């Protein structure tokens, strides 16, 4: 009898341990939310309040979307709104919510060979870079930043595929690696402002093009559809979304600063996608 009771008690302890270990969600997100330090700032508070651990896989938006399509994430936090909406329309996501925004900027060497400094028209600045064949370093990785960049080149009427390998260089890397490469080549680079603020190896590069409404950078959050992937932790994932878009998460996003600068601006609309 004692042996049986000991076995039952051990089984209960194991079950309890499994349940405790299982109290986590996986969030597929962009490199900017991780590398800027934002998630390291937010997530400990969320875990303390809910007991839910958030495990982040930080990749480009394209890879994050694919990870979520494959069922390898519970929540998606990225910045390519049209692609996010398509993800939901295709049934892979439940609903999309705005979370926060910042902006993109074009950084370049202080010498500014294309003469774009002070331009507020991003497409016009890119046209000048192309016309002078000044070196431009692109992520080339299907990320949200790369998506924005391609849209800007299209608006400028520049065929960068034809220029690939000449003045237009594709790194196939994340934002930090691309900035390092671009700075090493004295190249222009499109980057999100949060990554630029947190980036340490700026050398003589500075923000040259900013303020164009086309450089607006919106982030959205989506619960992966549990009807597509039964193992998705829908309840805990929704708890994270509710917290992130609620007063607590939005307040912390507004509070996060680096070098005296606010990196992200909360703009969730409760009950609206």
Condensed to tens digits (0 to 9), the pLDDT of residues 152-194 reads: 999 999 999 999 999 999 999 989 999 999 999 999 999 999 9
Q: What percent of the chain has pLDDT over 70?
A: 91
Same fold, 2-102+218-266 and 103-215: yes
CA proximity to 70, closest of 28, 107, 34:
28
Q: What pLDDT does 13 receive?
A: 41
Res 269 pLDDT > 70? yes
Q: What pLDDT does 211 receive?
A: 96
Q: Is the pTM of this model over 0.95?
A: no
pLDDT tens per residue, range 11-29: 444 444 445 568 999 999 9
Contact 223, 93 (CB under 8 A): yes
Other CB atoms within 10 A of residue 206 CB: 14
pLDDT tens per residue, range 197-216: 999 999 999 999 999 999 99
CA proximity to 206, closest of 192, 196, 219:
196
Give the whole-angstrom CA distance, residue 222 versus residue 84: 8
Mean local confidence (pLDDT), 122-151: 96
At the topology level, CATH places domain 2-102+218-266 in D-Maltodextrin-Binding Protein; domain 2 (3.40.190)
Give the whole-angstrom CA distance, residue 34 versus residue 7: 44
Q: Which two tokens stand for residue 174?
A: 């994340």
Q: What percent of the chain has pLDDT over 90?
A: 85
Contact 28, 72 (CB under 8 A): yes
Q: Where are the domains of the chain?
A: 2-102+218-266, 103-215
Concatenating the DSSP letter of every residue in 187-234 gives -EEEEEHHHHHH----TTEEEEE---GGGEEEEEEEEE-TTT-TT--H
Q: What pLDDT does 22 receive?
A: 83
Res 62 pLDDT > 50? yes
Domain 103-215: which CATH class? alpha beta
pLDDT tens per residue, range 216-251: 999 999 999 999 999 999 999 999 999 999 999 999
Rg value, the chain, Cα: 22
Res 8 pLDDT > 70? no
Confidence of residue 91 (pLDDT cuts 50, 70, 90): very high
Mean local confidence (pLDDT), 118-142: 97
């Amino acid at each position: 009898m004692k042996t049986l009771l000991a076995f039952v008690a051990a089984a209960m302890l194991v079950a309890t341990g499994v349940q405790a270990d299982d109290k986590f969600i996986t969030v597929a997100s962009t490199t900017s939310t991780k590398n800027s330090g934002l998630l390291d700032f937010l997530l400990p508070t969320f875990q303390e309040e809910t007991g839910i651990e958030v495990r982040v896989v930080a990749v480009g938006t394209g890879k994050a979307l694919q990870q979520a399509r494959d069922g390898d994430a519970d929540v998606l936090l990225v910045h390519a709104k049209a692609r996010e909406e398509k993800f939901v329309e295709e049934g892979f996501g439940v609903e999309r919510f705005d979370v926060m925004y910042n902006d993109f900027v074009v950084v370049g060497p202080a010498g500014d060979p294309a003469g774009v400094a002070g331009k507020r028209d991003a497409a016009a600045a890119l046209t000048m870079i192309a016309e002078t064949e000044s070196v431009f370093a692109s992520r080339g990785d299907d990320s949200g930043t790369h998506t924005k960049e391609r849209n800007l080149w299209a608006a400028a009427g520049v065929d960068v595929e034809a220029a690939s390998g000449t003045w237009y260089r594709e790194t196939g890397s994340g934002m930090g690696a691309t900035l390092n490469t671009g700075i090493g080549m004295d190249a222009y680079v499109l980057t999100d402002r949060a990554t630029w603020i947190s980036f340490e190896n700026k050398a003589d590069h500075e923000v040259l093009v900013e303020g164009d409404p086309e450089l607006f950078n919106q982030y959205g959050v989506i619960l992966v559809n549990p009807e597509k992937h039964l193992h998705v932790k829908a309840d805990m994932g929704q708890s994270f979304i509710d917290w992130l878009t609620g007063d607590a998460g939005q307040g912390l996003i507004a509070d996060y600063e680096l070098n005296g600068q606010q990196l992200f601006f909360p703009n969730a609309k409760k009950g609206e996608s």
